[in-house]
Amino acid sequence: MSKKTEIVEHPSGAKFSLMPLVSAEDAKKAYNAYLQLCQSILIPYDRRIVKDGVVVQESDYSRIAQKKKVGGKWVTEFIDAPKKSAFRKLAKFYGVSTEILEKNREDHEDGSYTWHYTVKAWQGSVQTTGEGSCTNNEKGRDRTLHDTKATAHTRAKSRAISDLIGFGQVSAEEIQLEVETKEPRRQVESEQENKEELNL
């Protein structure tokens, strides 16, 4: 059976060009400016200062442990992901404004509930939207209503800001949720692999 490829002309007759809106040099400058700003105003995890149990200087990053398979074995690696404070600082210096477009609560049969937020971020005529959700029993604990809503809002707002100015960098709040969601499946796989090794 042969397949036929047909070229259809756009009704307007307009020509489209998938070309960058800026030169490669300007794009490089913009990206380097973003990296330099991050290095200048964001506090690395290694510069977090705690004295006598009191946090004297907090970091704008969270160090998160992730498991990955290497040579058939699970190994742990650590990544430093930007937190809420990082994206708020960047938004301030980039002149980014945000607005909640939508928020709603979803109730579940087991008595838990999830808050969903949609947030718009913009600077001038350029805008993006971000979505974020949080369930009150995440991390195996019962979050308060305020904490559940605030976390969902943070995830949505940070996502919108990141998509606008941060080249889609994933926030610590999002990564932590992803790690927690995948961890039970990894644990089951690891236990199964151990059983198979013992049976050899």
pTM score above 0.85: no
- Say what the pLDDT of residue 66 is: 85
Residue 188 has pLDDT above 50, yes or no: no
- Note whether 74 and 102 are within 8 A (CB): no
- For residue range 9-19, list pLDDT tens digits in order: 656 666 667 88
- Note whether 176 and 61 are within 8 A (CB): no
Residue 63 has pLDDT above 90, yes or no: yes
What DSSP character marks residue 111?
S
Pairwise pLDDT comparison (174 vs 187), residue with the higher score: 174
- For residue range 124-134, list pLDDT tens digits in order: 999 999 999 99
Going by CATH, does the domain composed of 24-46+60-198 fall within 1.10.1530.10? no
Domain boundaries, the chain: 24-46+60-198
135: exposed, middle or buried (C-beta count within 10 Å: 0-12, 13-18, 19+)?
middle
Average pLDDT over residues 165-179: 84
What DSSP character marks residue 72?
T
Residue 145 has pLDDT above 80, yes or no: yes
Average pLDDT over residues 33-55: 94
Pairwise pLDDT comparison (173 vs 192), residue with the higher score: 173
Pick from 91-100, 155-164, 175-184: least confident: 175-184
